Chain A
């Protein structure tokens, strides 16, 4: 076998070994075997000078090339091994759960009330607050709801003692506000109200309302319509249609109920809207001159509108909640869904 053939054999041997999985120790062994002082290739290179002249050039070139190749390949393999080793040491399972503290959740009723408040604040309404323990005058009399009148049917009330009761609507704040300030008035009154309804899926003896009041010179029924359809669009989506129907409230004239196109079915008719395509969402109307009289406003000079809505009802419609009691059970599996 010529030396040249032997060099080709060594190359094959190297390729065979390099093709296998190799450890750092194995790599050191290969370095000794193929490049070491006692390696065959090293011996060939050392003996090139003593070869016959016709073989000297080709053999020397082939041996040099192989030595360079093996050296480069071993270096490359060394780097790869080191890289693999580093990766082995640092690698983490990125599919493990991440770690961060969970934020808490504002109560869904707070979220809905804040949304309602913010829309009206952006329209220039201020937010007014008032007592829940109220007198007959502020809850009923000043609002033209006489004793022993069928209009009281809608306002069953918890009584405390004497003239005191738990307000059955936040309208009492309207009276306080009008007594304490002169027009213009432009305010909403969010808050808790109470009615002695036995608790079931759709009734609660305690619930939340947001009422509103605007009083000034020249306030029109059309302003009421514009304000409330603006609100409904912002609250329920700009494609929501609003319709206003005549109704009766003792404290407004004309009085109205406000419906929105059903946000569940889009107005086609479903279980929630009882196939009507509409959802009743608010009561409203022009402030009755009798109410102005009670607070000492000149009904010839000022007009105004008022409206009111139930926060629980709106929250139930928005989120598709079927039982009003869920709001007061405060099960964290419920609350946690409103992130």
Chain B
């Protein structure tokens, strides 16, 4: 909304410079975005919030300027031009409202004998400063009045209205109209139109029709001034994709009591600018609620704001704002709200008005009452924050990817994709589905970086996956952790390069679980799109997977190097994390280690060997580490050699060599008899 400084000076005795006024307006709720010199005028661009349609006119802004600067308002508004009132014989059209819900007030004034031409400099200068181009004296006057009073009006060429009828009605399905901008628009039932005997001649409150617009040959006009239902205008405007200065005001609500004064003002200006005589007037009659009266308890207002308000000041501020104030009991006032302030209907609304004119800057900064509890975070959040810290310390960087992806991308990994959730009004097919897994985001980021010559990547994301609860209008959002590792996990001049493997990803999960003092189990499984996939479960609950992305899937992302990934449900896998665990004493007596190289079939798993060692080692076996694994020429092709380091010990004494030897032999014998292994 533009404000012309010279224009409002006609209505308010303001002594503030434009800059000072701009500052005051900004600090009272009408933010001034820019100030610009236009000729000898100064024009400000204001952000008027949607609750203040009364500020969408120079008159309204004059009231606001008067209120914020304490200046006097003089509104020399021509409310009476005394045209031949109610002379029905002059009408020549019969007006009627067929949809009173959508148009509670309609007025139409006949003006005869006008000469269409250029408007005077006084009017073209005013609207020109606001960036409105002159059209002709009739249209320019209606535009002038719109900006002056905030009441949109429309002038029809009276002689082009067919059948002597003007109806305010809902459009019939299939009806069309070519609006003044030359666009043919298809109307729907529910849209409000002004129509003559044959066709719509205006989309009510939005734009007039081309057929009946005022042209240079027009001599008789019908001037419309009305109140249209805000919701109806807004719906129609959005459906047609057509927003005008008129619709913008109607959808926010114009002043119900100003429909007629604005019409009279426009009529007198048209006669002044274009000659002619006022003819008949159709007026459906006054519309509007009785004035709102509010009881304001000044003590309560003070309590809400945190200041001590003075009754005198409150009354002064409210009067500046155009409110009628009646003293009530001590400490309270009764306020009658003017019709142009439709946004003020409750005590709290008055509190806001007082606060903003008093100035938010004049309200102190206070500290609220002590917090009702000691500062705290939920366990879940602490686990999340710690998990992220651990992952970063392990060299992984965090990524954040869009939750909205294409449906195709969602279905790239059918094994990870439950029933997808789709957006009805997506911006594009690229972002139409709520992501059912974090793999698409991860692979896109890996691809992006590899394409920019960064091929060694260790990444993680904590994000949600979204799914539909089957058969219900309900949805599930789960916090997931995704890990992606590719290229070299280590690379330096001294130690050379170390390629990522599935164990790199598994190691990250193991270290994380270790730091959180929890654990997970892992078992081979099959998931489409992954090689060497394994299922991760925690405490018996399936919680995710790890795997190598299969080459055909990598190809979709244009990746030609191996990528190892994992996706786990954070809540499941770390549900039993321990943040502060009890201390266990450091062993006082030395432990003994025994290494053992086990030669076994390739199909024998390390976990099965561990299980036997755990069972047979009993209390004496403290720890089993894998220190080497060998497959190759020195052993048969179907065999592997795994070297373990077993640690034996007790907390209350040192084990004798014989005891260690006995336990170690027991494990060896067990491995031979149960798994048929040999030792190297």
Residues of chain A having any CB pair with chain B under 8 Å: 96-97, 99, 101-107, 109-110, 114, 121-127, 131-133, 148-151, 153, 158-164, 166, 184, 186, 192, 194, 196, 198-199, 205-206, 214, 216, 218-223, 225-227, 229-230, 243-248, 253-257, 286, 288-289, 303, 327-333, 335-336
Of all chain B residues, the one with the shortest Cβ separation from A225 is B365
Interface residues of B in 427-485 (CB under 8 A from A): 427, 431, 434, 445, 448-449, 452, 454, 457-460, 464, 466, 473, 475, 477
Contact between chains at A227 and B368 (CB < 8 Å)? yes
Contact between chains at B368 and A226 (CB < 8 Å)? yes
Q: Is B367 an interface residue (CB 8 A)?
A: yes
* Set A103, A121, A196, A218: member contacting B375, Cβ < 8 A: A121
Residues of A close to B454: CB separation below 8 A: 331-333
Q: A104-B392, A328-B402 are in contact. Are A226 and B427 (CB under 8 A)?
A: no
0/1 string, B12-30, CB within 8 A of A gives 1: 0000000000000011110
* Set A103, A132, A214, A226: member contacting B365, Cβ < 8 A: A226
* Set B234, B305, B475: member contacting A150, Cβ < 8 A: B234
Q: A222-B307, A223-B368, A254-B355 are in contact. Are A124 and B391 (CB under 8 A)?
A: no
Contact between chains at A222 and B306 (CB < 8 Å)? yes
Contact between chains at A218 and B50 (CB < 8 Å)? no
Complex CA distance for A127 and B376, rounded to whole angstroms: 9
* Set B304, B376, B385: member contacting A126, Cβ < 8 A: B376
Complex CA distance for A293 and B365, rounded to whole angstroms: 28
Of all chain A residues, the one with the shortest Cβ separation from B31 is A245
Q: A133-B466, A206-B402, A244-B360 are in contact. Are A150 and B252 (CB under 8 A)?
A: yes
Q: A interface, by DSSP: helix, strand, loop or mixed?
A: mixed
Complex CA distance for A254 and B346, rounded to whole angstroms: 12
Of all chain A residues, the one with the shortest Cβ separation from B49 is A248
Complex CA distance for A180 and B50, rounded to whole angstroms: 32
Complex CA distance for A332 and B372, rounded to whole angstroms: 43
Contact between chains at A246 and B251 (CB < 8 Å)? no
Complex CA distance for A248 and B449, rounded to whole angstroms: 43
Interface residues of B in 388-422 (CB under 8 A from A): 388-389, 391-404, 421-422
Contact between chains at A246 and B29 (CB < 8 Å)? yes
Residues of B close to A253: CB separation below 8 A: 348-349, 351-352
Residues of B close to A254: CB separation below 8 A: 351-352, 355-356, 360
Give the Cβ gap from A200 to chain B, nearest Cβ, in Å.
12
Q: A148-B234, A161-B424, A222-B365 are in contact. Are A106 and B434 (CB under 8 A)?
A: no
Q: Is B122 an interface residue (CB 8 A)?
A: no
* Set B235, B252, B393, B448: member contacting A330, Cβ < 8 A: B448
Of all chain A residues, the one with the shortest Cβ separation from B234 is A148
Of all chain B residues, the one with the shortest Cβ separation from A121 is B375
Of all chain A residues, the one with the shortest Cβ separation from B371 is A124
Of all chain A residues, the one with the shortest Cβ separation from B349 is A253
Give the Cβ gap from A126 to chain B, nearest Cβ, in Å.
6
Q: A104-B396, A288-B348 are in contact. Are A133 and B369 (CB under 8 A)?
A: no
Complex CA distance for A133 and B31, rounded to whole angstroms: 34
Contact between chains at A160 and B494 (CB < 8 Å)? no
Contact between chains at A161 and B473 (CB < 8 Å)? yes
Residues of chain B having any CB pair with chain A under 8 Å: 26-29, 31, 49-52, 230-231, 234-235, 251-252, 303-307, 346, 348-349, 351-352, 355-356, 360-361, 363-378, 381, 385, 388-389, 391-404, 421-427, 431, 434, 445, 448-449, 452, 454, 457-460, 464, 466, 473, 475, 477, 490, 492-495
Excluding A103-B393, A148-B231, A330-B401, 10 further A-B contacts by CB distance (< 8 Å) are: A104-B396, A123-B375, A124-B371, A131-B475, A150-B234, A214-B368, A220-B368, A222-B363, A226-B365, A248-B50
Residues of A close to B234: CB separation below 8 A: 148-150
Complex CA distance for A243 and B27, rounded to whole angstroms: 9
Of all chain A residues, the one with the shortest Cβ separation from B394 is A104
Contact between chains at B397 and A332 (CB < 8 Å)? yes
* A163, A218, A222 — most chain B CB neighbours (10 Å): A222
13 contacts between A and B (CB under 8 A): A99-B493, A104-B460, A123-B375, A132-B403, A148-B235, A151-B51, A160-B423, A205-B404, A223-B367, A223-B368, A244-B361, A244-B363, A335-B397
Residues of A close to B403: CB separation below 8 A: 132, 192, 194, 206
Contact between chains at A132 and B477 (CB < 8 Å)? yes
* Set B231, B397, B427: member contacting A336, Cβ < 8 A: B397
Complex CA distance for A144 and B192, rounded to whole angstroms: 26
Contact between chains at B360 and A150 (CB < 8 Å)? no
Give the Cβ gap from A53 to chain B, nearest Cβ, in Å.
73
Contact between chains at B377 and A99 (CB < 8 Å)? no
Residues of A close to B369: CB separation below 8 A: 216, 218-219
Contact between chains at B452 and A331 (CB < 8 Å)? yes
Complex CA distance for A194 and B431, rounded to whole angstroms: 12
Complex CA distance for A245 and B234, rounded to whole angstroms: 28
